[in-house]
Structures are given as structure tokens and as C-alpha cells.
Structure 1
Amino acid sequence: MDQLMRAVFPIGGYPESGTGEPWAPLADIVDTEDAYLVELELPGVDKDQITVEVAEGELDIHGEIKEKEHTGVVRRHTRRMGQFDYRTTLPPNSDTEHVSADLTSGVLTVRVPKTETGKGHRIEITG
């Protein structure tokens, strides 16, 4: 019955693990003075399982979490497995040539520096 309910009403509105449908990891986007920081929760994922790409003003982070082999009987399975995909559009003042990524303690932090040309400034009114 539990499996039937989860198939009809998946937890968090995402497809059930193992359906082949990509899911999006939890993420925060922080706007600092000199950069945008995109932080994604990816516990237990190695950096070689993640691809970070920037193209046409869009940041695309995707990869796959493979299911671990268990020696016992799995009584409950709620962790996400399979393909994941996170996409976001970058603001016009993003310096896409100098994007960096760091994976520490299960959190992927992608740093997108801001360019000088896109920074806002005050316009003096004349007349």
C-alpha cells in the first residue's frame, strides 16, 4: 500500500526514485557584491559524477547518483537516486568565462563572478 501511495503522491512533488525521470537537487542562490553563488545539496556525490556547464546565459548542473548495493533488506528508501538536473538562467552581468565550482561536505558551490559592465549605478538628472 505504501508503494502505491508513493507512486500516486510522490514525496515533495518529485517523481519517485528509479523512474528514470531527472530530479532537481535542493539549491540556494546567493547574490553577493561581486558574484552569484549557487549552492546545491548533493550528499554522497563525488565530483566525477557531476557536470557543470554554462552556455547561452544558462547554468546547467547535471549528473547521476547511482544506487548503492546493500547486503541486507532495504526497509525504507527515501534518498534520491538516478539522474539529476538543475538549470538556472544567469543575469546579464555574469562573467561566464570565470565560473568556478567546489564540492565540500556534500554541498556544490558554483561561483559566477559579476562583470563591471552589468553593475548598476546612479544616473544624475540634469535640467
Structure 2
Amino acid sequence: MDKKSLMPFGRGAAPSRTHDEPFTSLRREMDQLFDSFTRGWGLPTLADESVLSPRVDVVETDAGLEFTAELPGIDPKEIELDIEDDILTLRAEHKVDREEKDDKRRYHLVERRSGTYMRRFALPFAPDRDKVAAEFDKGVLKVTVPRSPDQPKTSKRIEIRPAA
């Protein structure tokens, strides 16, 4: 094993001596360390903003399931929900265009970011597709997925026999 590859400053070189703030420099070196350590794992890096996974709370009730997803800054028109083969899919596009301009200071800044939120959930029961409901308020999506009335709610006790 090459010990130089484990050094936080990369390939055994001495730490860079810049005139940055000490915490900014430390942050940059830590980001480089984690990026180089996780390279090849197939994980998104800190610079990869196209992979977004919203935080979702799932609660099971007597009626079915309730999902609460955090989607800050998303336009409700950009959210797609569908159920196929008892799998609920949540997909949303996140696009941000920012432009700043100041003729007195002579600068012009244009930034664009985009990414896709996506989560899939295997439903543990057959849903009543006609009664699935969703509402979006202040960046929070609430989805209720009721159980199908056709699904039996019976239980069966299973006998445990001693091994032969």
C-alpha cells in the first residue's frame, strides 16, 4: 500500500502555502482528501450537484402510507408522481438561474445549476390508485397512499413444529 496516497495534502507534497483564510484552506484540503478517498466508489462528489435525493418521512397508518418530502425551491409544476407495479416514484427537476450585474463596479455574474430529485418506494400493499392524493405547500410535498379495499386484512397464525 502506498502511504503517500493516504496523506491529506495529496501525493506527499507539503501543504500549499496560500494567503487564503486558514479555515478556507483547511476546508479545501479536507474536500480534496474526501474526494480522493472515495474516488472509484461510484459516489457523487461534492462538486456533483446533479444527484439529489430529497429527505422523505414515511409513516404507516391504519388507512395506508403517508409520505412527506422536502423539496425546497421546487416549482410544483416540476414534480411528477406515479405508481406503477406497486412502486411509488417521486421525480422533480430543480433548475436555478442566477444573474447579477453591476455596471458601476463592472462585473457580470451568471450561474446555472440543475439537478433531478428522484426517490422510489416499494409499497407493501396494493394501493387504491384512485384515492392517492398529494399536496404541496412551502417546499413540502405530502402524499397519502390508501390501501385498496379489495385487499384482505386477515391474518393467519402459523404453527411452529419441533424439528424432526
Superposed pair shares fold, TM > 0.5 = yes
**1:93 corresponds to:** 126
Q: Distance in 1 between matches of 2:52 and 2:87?
A: 18
Q: Is the 8 A contact 1:95 1:115 kept in 2?
A: yes
Q: Is the 8 A contact 2:71 2:140 kept in 1?
A: yes
Q: Distance in 1 between matches of 2:47 and 2:91?
A: 16
Q: Pick which of 14-23 and 85-94 moved more.
A: 14-23
Give 1:16 shift: 4.4
Bigger radius of gyration among the two = 2
**2:137 corresponds to:** 104
Name the amino acid aligned to 2:51.
P
Alignment equivalent of 1:25, drawn from 42, 46, 54: 54
Alignment equivalent of 2:97, drawn from 68, 92, 100: 68
Partner of 2:77, secondary structure, is helix
Name the amino acid aligned to 1:99.
V
Partner of 1:94, secondary structure, is coil
Gaps of 5+ in 1: 73-79
The TM-score normalised by the length of structure 1 is 0.71
Gaps of 5+ in 2: 1-24, 102-112, 158-164
Q: Distance in 1 between matches of 2:147 and 2:117?
A: 27
Partner of 1:59, secondary structure, is strand
1:5 aligns with 2:31: yes
Q: Pick which of 103-112 and 114-123 moved more.
A: 114-123
Q: Pick which of 94-103 and 41-50 moved more.
A: 94-103
RMSD over aligned Cα, in angstroms? 3.3
Q: Distance in 2 between matches of 1:15 and 1:110?
A: 28
The TM-score normalised by the length of structure 2 is 0.57
Q: Is the 8 A contact 1:59 1:87 kept in 2?
A: yes
**2:161 corresponds to:** none
1:38 aligns with 2:38: no
Q: 1:17 to 1:85 in 2, by over 3 A?
A: farther
Give 1:21 shift: 4.2
Q: 1:53 to 1:18 in 2, by over 3 A?
A: farther
Between the aligned residues of both structures, percent identity stands at: 25
